[in-house]
Amino acid sequence: MAKILLVEDNEMNRDMLSRRLARKGHEVLLAVDGQSGMEMVRRHAPDLVLMDMSLPVVDGWEATRRLKGDEATRHIPVIALTAHAMSSDRGKALEAGCDDYDTKPVELPRLLAKIELLIQRAAGRTAAEAAP
């Protein structure tokens, strides 16, 4: 089980995905724009962030850039979610510092595999840093 922050302004997408993640045993935190998303990351230190890119106030690209530019939050994996399968979007997301990328509508088994991989990788890194 992981603590996952879902940043998504579309209520239907947010409800559906958060329910499905919760059903898989994850603790799901929600934010509806990039600004509150960044605040939630700092306050709750989630294991992973699912970041919609098209968001009000601060968009997902900018929010990710800021999280990855901050020593306190840069280790937290971010998966970008966009509605477009265009490769330019993927490039833009990775450029902003996203660790991975997926398209909506989300294919849950595929997304869960990415989540698990990134959380394991982050945990491995933390353990390596803690080792003497």
Instruction: Using CB under 5 A, list all residues that contact Mn ion.
Output: 9, 52, 54
Work out how close the CB of 56 gets to Mn ion at its nearest, in angstroms, rounded to a whole number.
8
Question: Which two three-digit tokens encode residue 85?
Answer: 């399968």
Work out how close the CB of 100 gets to Mn ion at its nearest, in angstroms, rounded to a whole number.
18
First to last CA, the chain: 27
Give 7 or 48: the residue with its C-beta nearer to Mn ion. 7
Three-class HEC string of the chain: CCEEEEECCCHHHHHHHHHHHHHCCCEEEEECCHHHHHHHHHHHCCCEEEEECCCCCCCHHHHHHHHHCCCCCCCCCEEEEECCCCHHHHHHHHHHCCCEEEECCCCHHHHHHHHHHHHHHHHHHHHHHHCC
Work out how close the CB of 52 gets to Mn ion at its nearest, in angstroms, rounded to a whole number.
4
Give 54 or 73: the residue with its C-beta nearer to Mn ion. 54
Q: Are 37 and 81 in contact (CB under 8 A)?
A: no
Give 92 or 119: the residue with its C-beta nearer to Mn ion. 92
Give 9 or 99: the residue with its C-beta nearer to Mn ion. 9
Work out how close the CB of 61 gets to Mn ion at its nearest, in angstroms, rounded to a whole number.
12
Work out how close the CB of 31 gets to Mn ion at its nearest, in angstroms, rounded to a whole number.
12
Give 41 or 81: the residue with its C-beta nearer to Mn ion. 81
